[in-house]
Structure 1
Amino acid sequence: MTATERRAHLIVLGNEKGGSGKSTTAVHIGVALAHAGFKTAMLDLDSRQRTVARYLENRVAFCQTHGHALPTPDVAVIADGDGDVEQLEQRIAQAQHAADFLVIDTPGRDSALGRAALARADTIITPINDSFVDFDLIGQVDPDTFAVRRPSFYSELIWDARRARAKADRGEIDWVVLRNRLSTLEARNRKRVGAALESLSKRVGFRVLPGVSERVIFREFFPRGLTLLDRSALEDFSMSHVAARSELRALIAGLNLPGWQPQMLG
């Protein structure tokens, strides 16, 4: 594929609830794609927290200090304000001719910038914690039977994004909901949440994938900017790391991204 023929696949991470692992998931997806040899760029649309940008800045600093050469996506931050959507469009246009994938992390709140990114997505990923508190973002349930009553505001937001994308270029958006922080405890609650997700997915059209469990190692990597894929830079590699790495590989494979092959992560 030549530069003029290239079209980056846009992956947008979106969730208006905090603490779901959205930014950490974005970084791990971006780094996984870079490890696999894809030209990958990232955009951080949360100019206040800058979690994705800070994560990758830590990664670059760690590599410089310790002499590692780890695959690292390019990252840019777009601030909310006048002209922010125009800046987003410019960055997307640049990526179309320079990258295979563009991973965008949206703010954990409603914003014109976030909505614009969702409407340009090829894949939308919404991580949620495995609880009805987070489920309420996308659907409401009956308090007695836990049956789904209706889609919630974020499902409606994705519906609007899909309509905007179809109107713009007749493109389709694959919406994936990640069940992050799956616990071995509270089996009854986990089953109820799973049933509600399955029911709602048929009504509003998303796929459900298992994300990552509640593992402290995902958060401990942040100061060094490392991921589970950077085995050469890790001081030790325990069975807990192996299990978490397996979760990550399954997550990436389940996204059904163009050109992805399971063996790419070794």
Structure 2
Amino acid sequence: MNVSGVSASVSAAPRRAHVIVCGNAKGGTGKSTFAMHIAVALLRTGNRVATIDLDTAQQTLTRYVENRRRWAQGTGIAVAVPDHRDVPHRGKFADSEGETFAALAEALAGVDAAFDFVVIDTAAGDTFAGMLAHRLADTLVTPLNDSLIDLEALGDLPPAGRGSPSGSGYAQAVAQARDERRRADGRLIDWIVACNRVPVTAAGEAKIAPRLRDMASTLGFRFADGISQRSLFDDLFAAGLTAFDEYDGRSASSRPNLAHLAARQEMRRLMDRMDLLHTGPSLPVGGPGTSPTEAAITPAL
């Protein structure tokens, strides 16, 4: 079964829900953490959100959602939970493509009418389901660890003045997905690359940021400021919480500390960069100068 053929049949159908895909050929870059934070941020602004986990080997997003439900039941505190589903698939391109496409189509059935956003978490590598998801994306978010090794997974940057950056296998796969999507329904996938696990001592500036800025125009992505390396995110995953959730005496923390506030601000900047949230004419919650995302999702502190 041809990837472009089956993806075109879905892409060309009338759609309402905005599809956000968290993708990277490399594992361990924080795709599931990004997916959950994006979903909760959208839920907190009153949007209807579905999440889909395509990584059946790890099922990190599925476990994140389960932890969230368990935490809500255990504490009695209501938190917004996305409508979640996972899609079984079988490894690489050659394995059961028809079955994979049918499972993904079943998971997507009805979401356009029922939800405003669909957030899809993909597995590492070149799985058939992942490639299909990339072709369905309206927004593609690629977390990239602050490492030259991880940068190589995206593309090669020659020394200054010695040519243009070139894309690696993943960048080439994204370019192909964008081309096929454009031919299917005329839409352009908005690709955002965000540094993750930036050392806190770096004051938010990733060491690979200058290279990514140079690569952005050639490879066709928009660069987002980094998310710092924080053990907080492991704690949040275990509780099923995000940096956008409120805290009280029965939660993981009695009140947001500096790490919570810093993580929340970084994730706000990512949401601003994605440009998916818009607020009304009232004064922003955070006061003058507050970003649209901050105004929409700032909890009562």
The match for 1:153 is: 169
Question: Are 1:27 and 2:36 matched, yes or no?
Answer: yes
Q: Of the candidates 198, 218, 221, which is equivalent to residue 233 of structure 2?
A: 218
Q: 1:259 to 1:149 in 2, by over 3 A?
A: closer
The match for 1:112 is: 128
The match for 2:54 is: 45
CA distance in 2 between counterparts of 1:38 and 1:186 reads: 34
Q: Of the candidates 53, 75, 84, which is equivalent to residue 66 of structure 1?
A: 75
- What is the percentage of aligned positions where both structures have the same residue? 37
Deviation of 1:149 after TM superposition, in Å, equals 4.3
Question: Are 1:181 and 2:197 matched, yes or no?
Answer: yes
Tell whether the 8 Å contact from 1:14 to 1:106 is kept in structure 2 after alignment: yes
Deviation of 1:194 after TM superposition, in Å, equals 2.1
CA distance in 1 between counterparts of 2:162 and 2:260 reads: 35
What secondary structure, in the 3-state scheme, does the structure 1 residue paired with 2:66 have?
A: helix
The match for 1:248 is: 267
Bigger mean CA offset, 83-92 vs 100-109? 83-92
Deviation of 1:251 after TM superposition, in Å, equals 1.0
Tell whether the 8 Å contact from 1:148 to 1:196 is kept in structure 2 after alignment: no
Unmatched tracts of structure 2, length 5 or more: 1-13, 91-95, 280-291
CA distance in 2 between counterparts of 1:146 and 1:135 reads: 18
Letter of the structure 1 residue corresponding to residue 20 of structure 2: I
1:210-264 per-residue CA deviation (whole Å, 9 max, x = no partner) reads 1310011011111210111221344232112111111111111110116464221
Deviation of 1:110 after TM superposition, in Å, equals 1.0
CA distance in 2 between counterparts of 1:131 and 1:56 reads: 29
Letter of the structure 2 residue corresponding to residue 89 of structure 1: A
Residue-pair matches, total: 260
The match for 1:14 is: 23
Deviation of 1:41 after TM superposition, in Å, equals 0.3
Question: Are 1:207 and 2:192 matched, yes or no?
Answer: no
Q: Of the candidates 236, 239, 249, which is equivalent to residue 258 of structure 2?
A: 239
Deviation of 1:91 after TM superposition, in Å, equals 2.5
